Amino acid sequence: MAVIHTAKYAVHSQAVETSGFYGDRRGWRHDLRGHIENLTAYVHNHLADAQPEMEHYLEQMKKTTERLDFADKTGHPITDIILHQIRSQAKRQGCEFTASFHYPADAPYDIYDISVILNNGLKNALEACGKVSPPASMEVRSYSKGNLFFIEIENDFSGELNWDKEGGLPCTTKDDKRHHGIGLSNIVRCAEKYQGSMEIEVTQKENRQRPSLGAE
């Protein structure tokens, strides 16, 4: 329990620090965009001879500014970062990643628990996609129904799932079973804190399996 408490405290501290950095980044982007717009207007009005060269330079500045931004704006910096990291890994892996996730800011869910569900679920999905011949794809989405908040993750998958009869979860395929296979258990633990649950459904998609993980 002490280890879990320490981990939660570390995540909360990181969330506070990241939120401040996140706000700073947005301020920087706003200021930079303002400066670029002013420079663009000045070039058009006063530097007609140098306009083509300057426009190219300013366009590169715009692209640099855009790279300071995250593609996913989930409503919380921690979940923004998780999706950004997964998106970067998926791109390197040649996996298509689609996200429609939004953190329920007004709901009574700890960001630590949401992060555990999101991070573990997406890492499992990414690992499964890595074992599938391209093109592989994965998707995360969230939605609310009344007081319930749902997170769904789908991914392509090759092979079959072997189920642990006692735990009711898929068995890990890794040799070191002592240190692997706990990700899904952690998702269940976090969901059950809010009287929720996790379900895994396997459907057929173009000659490959497509597991769907849902946490509520």
Beta bridge partners of 163: 170
Confidence label for 183 from pLDDT (cuts 50, 70 and 90): confident
| Spatial separation of the C-alpha atoms in residues 15 and 3, rounded to whole Å | 18
**pTM, 2 dp:** 0.65
Strands 136-145, 95-100: pairing kind: parallel
pLDDT of 143 over the 70 cut: yes
Name the token pair of 95: 């996996």
pLDDT (0 to 100) of residue 90: 94
Assess contact for 121 and 153: CB atoms under 8 A.
yes
Q: CA torsion sign, 67 to 68 to 74 to 79?
A: positive
Query: What would the mean pLDDT of 196-211 be, rounded to a whole number?
Result: 67
The more confident residue out of 172 and 180 is: 172
Least confident of 145-149, 200-204, 205-209: 205-209
pLDDT at 131: 86
Q: Is the pLDDT of residue 24 over 70?
A: no
Q: For the segment 77-136, what is each residue's pLDDT rounded down to a tens digit? A: 778 888 988 998 999 999 999 999 998 877 788 888 888 899 889 998 998 898 888 889
Distance, in Å, from the CA atom of 210 to the CA atom of 108, rounded to the nearest integer, reads 31
For position 102, what pLDDT does the model report?
93
- C-alpha distances in Å from residue 23, one per residue of 15, 17, 157, 213: 12, 10, 38, 32
Structure tokens that stand for 32 in this block: 């930079």
Q: Tens of pLDDT along 57-74?
A: 666 666 655 555 667 888
The encoded tokens of residue 91 equal 């791109």
> Cα angle vertex 196, ends 162, 106, to 5°?
135
Contact 105, 75 (CB under 8 A): yes
The whole-number average pLDDT for the span 160-182 is 55
Does the CA dihedral 69-74-77-83 come out positive or negative?
A: negative
Contact 95, 131 (CB under 8 A): no
In the chain, the domains with their CATH numbers are 2-67 (no CATH), 77-215 (3.30.565.10)
Residue-wise over 162-192: b if at least 16 C-beta within 10 A, else e? eeeeeeebbebeeeeeeeebebbeebbebbe
